[in-house]
Structure 1
């Protein structure tokens, strides 16, 4: 039987155990050999201990808005049935474990508002069911892996306030036809915006402000019927057509 133990020190004794979700039912630790413990080691350094003896039972892990410090465990790849991973608003350090790609059933990844560093693993592109990738407000660096844009199920990509650079692929909309929100505000993305943006039929929010985009604003934006919020300020874009009848927000 596979076992793994994670230890995360926290700076507050308050721990919202109710936010730990285990799929559609709560697993009985005695019957399923799944144990979550929350001992306190001193008043200033309580620890969270997670002992997983049957990792296949965990479908959703939600530990948002606690004050955990430390690193994402490499053995997270044991959670083969994990569909939702929400660890935002903590103080996690280090890099995103490449082993995360073994969680092929992941649909939502929320690692935003922490202190993660390093590059975004290209192996995330293997998660064919991924719908939400939220990595904003970290210290991630390097180019954004193009292969992630090949995940057709992606609905939201959020990278605000990192140090990520890249051009947007010209065929973005054909590869991500279900894209609803693209949050790239205050990044180092550059190049020209695709003239094929009209194929992003589900897009409702596009935030590209304060990047290094140049050229003209594509006419395709004007035909996006579900587009409600368009932020393009702080770039070197120009408007060369009167067909764009939507407001460009700064």
Structure 2
């Protein structure tokens, strides 16, 4: 009975404490709502009386305010700074007004799920504004163009339930943080009309993003690099990347089976439009205009709305295949990653017209000089299809991989310069008539290619174009493995010499010491600590014939010197 009374008393105390906390929370909410009503002009429609939970657009629970919706009422004013005192708030809709000043902190509103602030003129966002929003599902702040420059806040990674993030036209700067593996629920990302730069984050590949708007970064800004990561974003349905600085080829998007809207215009994309894109059954809209795309004009299905207006570098103005020489050169460019400088100058269907880096004779490509073009990638086996090629300069780039063995089959080849790259693997054996220079490739095999010379001709050579490099000779170079082997052998030889010397010295010392010990046993000498030797006077008389003058070698400051 006594225990029941205690439990009953404890229950009353807890209930009283809960009611007290609720009263305090409601009182705090009442204080904030009163300040909010006074801060807004005009006062929102239906906001009169003291019972704020009955105001139009305001909802409450037993613990306090849970929702505020005063959207599109042409309100002005500055929000009170203690907005995050509404601890029970789950929804905040203030969009479509002219609210100004600093946005109040939303930190630690752990129940907040939706925030709509777009279409206002807020001036700044405090540090840590989005800290601890553990329930946040939608954040929309678009068209707050008056904001001071700010960056995407790192604390948003705590909002693992975030589905929609719209920060378009909010004066964002910097690069995208590589944190999208943390935003596991994100489906829509809109960052259009900002000042963003840099490449697409690698963690896009493991995100669940379906709609991606990164278009229209402002003049002087824009995303750059390749769009290869899109190939791994298999849930994509809409992608707007137009008006940026993207380069490189369009990736294989065949795994993006839900993609229906792809806007890539006004970038610097290069290469051939992949057949997998043209055959993507889900695709309904695609824009590719104002890039530097190459190859044949792409042909999409009848139901696809395509825009190809503006600048591109297609080989023809109408549909149809490219000249075989153009096809070969584009295969070569593919292994370089379709570099922009080639795409800009390789336009049209006649490479012997005014294509840079290409020299022709009677319609046949005889020289390609791609030296010092900052090329990356690998040397394409397609060079072997240029059967009339005499001179090939690829020196002073950043090419990796091996030298294609098919190049030895170029019957007309006279000069091949691949020096100063990052090539590796075996060196093909070229005929002796080929002047071959492979210097400056530390990982390349050490043997010479064929018996040809290792030097390129001077710029005045009849076979070389006037811009060809005049590279110093030195095609033969030891690989790092050979150098390491020589060093190891040298160290081993020196070590053996030192060991032999020390061994001989030790043996000689022990022999001498043993001889002295024998004399000691005969009581003629005494061996003391430190291996010093004391000889008896009898022994000295014996060995010097009683100190005979016949044994004197000379005299000095310490007396006579003799032998015995």
Q: Normalised by the shorter chain, which TM-score bucket?
A: 0.7 to 0.9
Give the corresponding residue for 2:224.
Answer: 190
Counterparts in 2 of 1:51 and 1:144: CA distance versus 1, 3 Å: closer
Query: Structure 2 length as normaliser, TM-score?
Result: 0.37
Please state if 1:63 is matched with 2:98.
no
Do the aligned partners of 1:193 and 1:217 also contact (CA within 8 Å) in 2?
yes
Indicate which of 262, 266, 270 corresponds to 1:238. Answer: 270
Give the corresponding residue for 1:136.
Answer: 168
Do the aligned partners of 1:65 and 1:90 also contact (CA within 8 Å) in 2?
yes
Give the corresponding residue for 1:218.
Answer: 251
Give the corresponding residue for 1:13.
Answer: 42
Do the aligned partners of 1:19 and 1:62 also contact (CA within 8 Å) in 2?
no
Q: State the distance in 2 between where 1:126 and 1:53 align.
A: 17
Counterparts in 2 of 1:149 and 1:161: CA distance versus 1, 3 Å: farther
Q: State the distance in 2 between where 1:215 and 1:152 align.
A: 28
- Per the TM alignment, residue 78 of structure 1 is displaced from its structure 2 partner at its CA by 4.2
Counterparts in 2 of 1:181 and 1:116: CA distance versus 1, 3 Å: same
Alpha-carbon deviations, 1:15-43, whole Å to 9, x = none?
4678856xxxx216xx6454999xxxxxx
Give the corresponding residue for 1:122.
Answer: 154
Please state if 1:153 is matched with 2:180.
no
Give the corresponding residue for 1:163.
Answer: 195
Q: State the distance in 1 between where 2:160 and 2:255 align.
A: 28
Q: State the distance in 1 between where 2:82 and 2:262 align.
A: 45
Give the corresponding residue for 2:235.
Answer: 202
Q: State the distance in 1 between where 2:204 and 2:246 align.
A: 15
Q: State the distance in 2 between where 1:214 and 1:53 align.
A: 44
Counterparts in 2 of 1:66 and 1:214: CA distance versus 1, 3 Å: same
Give the corresponding residue for 2:260.
Answer: 228
- Greater percentage in strand: 1
Counterparts in 2 of 1:27 and 1:172: CA distance versus 1, 3 Å: same
Do the aligned partners of 1:36 and 1:50 also contact (CA within 8 Å) in 2?
no
Indicate which of 137, 141, 150 corresponds to 1:111. Answer: 141
Q: State the distance in 2 between where 1:53 and 1:170 align.
A: 34
In our comparison, the structure showing a higher alpha carbon Rg is: 2
- Per the TM alignment, residue 199 of structure 1 is displaced from its structure 2 partner at its CA by 3.4
Q: State the distance in 1 between where 2:159 and 2:77 align.
A: 34
Q: State the distance in 2 between where 1:145 and 1:119 align.
A: 9
Indicate which of 115, 118, 127 corresponds to 1:85. Answer: 115
Indicate which of 271, 277, 286 corresponds to 1:248. Answer: 286
Q: State the distance in 1 between where 2:184 and 2:248 align.
A: 27
- Per the TM alignment, residue 170 of structure 1 is displaced from its structure 2 partner at its CA by 3.6
Q: State the distance in 2 between where 1:146 and 1:172 align.
A: 8
Do the aligned partners of 1:105 and 1:129 also contact (CA within 8 Å) in 2?
yes
Q: State the distance in 2 between where 1:231 and 1:96 align.
A: 34
Counterparts in 2 of 1:151 and 1:34: CA distance versus 1, 3 Å: closer
Alpha-carbon deviations, 1:182-227, whole Å to 9, x = none?
1000221111112x5343232111011111110000012x332211
- Greater percentage in helix: 2
Corresponding residue SS for 2:225: strand
Do the aligned partners of 2:66 and 2:88 also contact (CA within 8 Å) in 1?
no
Counterparts in 2 of 1:48 and 1:193: CA distance versus 1, 3 Å: closer
Q: State the distance in 2 between where 1:235 and 1:206 align.
A: 14
Do the aligned partners of 2:211 and 2:239 also contact (CA within 8 Å) in 1?
yes
Whose relative contact order is higher, 1 or 2, with alpha carbons under 8 Å and at least 6 apart?
Answer: 1
- Per the TM alignment, residue 149 of structure 1 is displaced from its structure 2 partner at its CA by 5.2
Do the aligned partners of 1:96 and 1:116 also contact (CA within 8 Å) in 2?
no
Q: RMSD of the alignment, in Å?
A: 3.2
Q: State the distance in 2 between where 1:192 and 1:45 align.
A: 43
Q: State the distance in 2 between where 1:228 and 1:56 align.
A: 42
Indicate which of 52, 72, 76 corresponds to 2:103. Answer: 72
Do the aligned partners of 1:138 and 1:162 also contact (CA within 8 Å) in 2?
yes
- Per the TM alignment, residue 55 of structure 1 is displaced from its structure 2 partner at its CA by 2.6
Query: Structure 1 length as normaliser, TM-score?
Result: 0.79
User: How many pairs are equivalent?
Assistant: 232
Alpha-carbon deviations, 1:58-105, whole Å to 9, x = none?
11111111221111112x214220011111111111135423121121
